[in-house]
Structure 1
Amino acid sequence: MTVSLFRQFVAACVLVLAICGSARAQQDGTCTSVTLRDPPRTAIRCPGGLIIEAEAAARLQILAPASGGPPHAIRLDGNAVLIELTTARPFQIMTPHAIASVRGTVYAVDVAAGTTAVFVAEGQVQVGRRSGPDAVVLGPGEGVDVSPGEALTVRLWPQERVARLFSRFGR
């Protein structure tokens, strides 16, 4: 899905759900969140061109500078998030196994016991281990699984794996 279509989809979901009363919007001063239902997830819009879609059970923390600027990172400890970053600025997702760093892209990060999977729909993402110097750069259609003791191997993901992951975000 292109960045433009993703943005239009999220905006349409927010509008439709707000009108129908099946979403709950929340403002925390920095980011605005809306609860979406099918499948259950939260869409979070933050300053600086960042949209985060998190599965309902995702365990995450959005990290922003104390000065009140836009978020610069997410700490993700379980389940999956889908990220759209439309501005050229540093942003990263830190999991127990990996750090995924981007500059303008659409990608997903999924954390499970012992592994982190990263898939890129658009743009580029650099993925490295939390505890090591090795890193790879992913492009559109590519993914990597980060597990202790295993090499970081970039692969084109099969369509069925991509479809399973994106269906968790209603796509």
Structure 2
Amino acid sequence: MQAFTRASIAILATIMACLGTASAQPADFGCTSAPSPAQTRTLTCQGGVTIVVENEAQFTLLDRDRNGRVDGISLLSKAVFVSAPKQKSGRQFQVITPQAIAAVRGTEWAVDAEGAKTSVFVQTGRVGVRRVAAGRGVVLGPGEGVDVDATTTPLQVRQWGAPRIAALMARLGR
């Protein structure tokens, strides 16, 4: 029974860590946090990574290669805007949501995880997007976006219109 209790506590701790908010993040990833427009927070991280987080976003910073620097985000809800320079190691910065994985080398893009859908929009550069479960991915260029849900239909790259871009960027104070 005691082992069950320890396991339950460990699972609960893991879940709680994944439910971080824009106001509380681990300091050991070399990031500083400051308020920014539209009640967002801007995280400025080592290696030139900048992350703008929508108010009340549920996310966790990731250090997948355990080098002490942020190299990804687990995003459960709301939106983030990421500016990530090309990594010398070739490692791709990733934003992982329940529906999608968006990976990039040197670009600026936004990811919005709302309910059962994730939307990814690229401002500059190129971003690869695929479903978490499996399937073929797509590559987005500037001005393009994709909506990812739990279905198995092929992902469709679309040119986003100015109103949709403006609405998402306004939520991120951009």
TM over 0.5: yes
In structure 1, the partner of 2:6 is none
Provide the aligned length of Structure 1 versus Structure 2.
146
In structure 2, the partner of 1:168 is 171
Q: Provide, for residues 109-134 of structure 1, a one-character-per-residue CA deviation record: whole Å limited to 9, x for no partner.
A: 00011100000000000000000131
Residue 100 of structure 1: which of 91, 102, 109 is its match?
102
In structure 2, the partner of 1:63 is 62
Bigger shift: residues 117-126 or 61-70: 61-70
Whichever of the two has the greater Rg, that structure is 2
SS in 2 for 1:48: helix
TM-score by length of 2: 0.78
Q: Provide, for residues 43-101 of structure 1, a one-character-per-residue CA deviation record: whole Å limited to 9, x for no partner.
A: 00111111000011111100115744321211000000000012334110100000000
Amino acid at match of 2:116: G
Amino acid at match of 2:170: S
Matches within 5 A, 1:1-171: 28-29=27-28, 30-36=30-36, 38-65=37-64, 67-88=66-87, 89-149=91-151, 150-171=153-174
Q: 1:156 to 1:91 in 2, by over 3 A?
A: same
| Equivalent-residue separation in structure 2 for 1:146 and 1:27 (angstroms) | 29
| Equivalent-residue separation in structure 2 for 1:67 and 1:130 (angstroms) | 22
| Equivalent-residue separation in structure 2 for 1:143 and 1:67 (angstroms) | 30
8 Å contact from structure 2 (residues 64, 72) kept in 1: no
CA RMSD in angstroms, aligned pairs only: 1.8
Q: Provide, for residues 120-159 of structure 1, a one-character-per-residue CA deviation record: whole Å limited to 9, x for no partner.
A: 0000000000001310000000000001213200000011
- Stretches of 4+ moved more than 6 A in 1? none
TM-score by length of 1: 0.80
List alignment gaps of at least 5 residues for structure 2.
Answer: 1-22
8 Å contact from structure 1 (residues 48, 87) kept in 2: no
| Equivalent-residue separation in structure 1 for 2:130 and 2:64 (angstroms) | 23
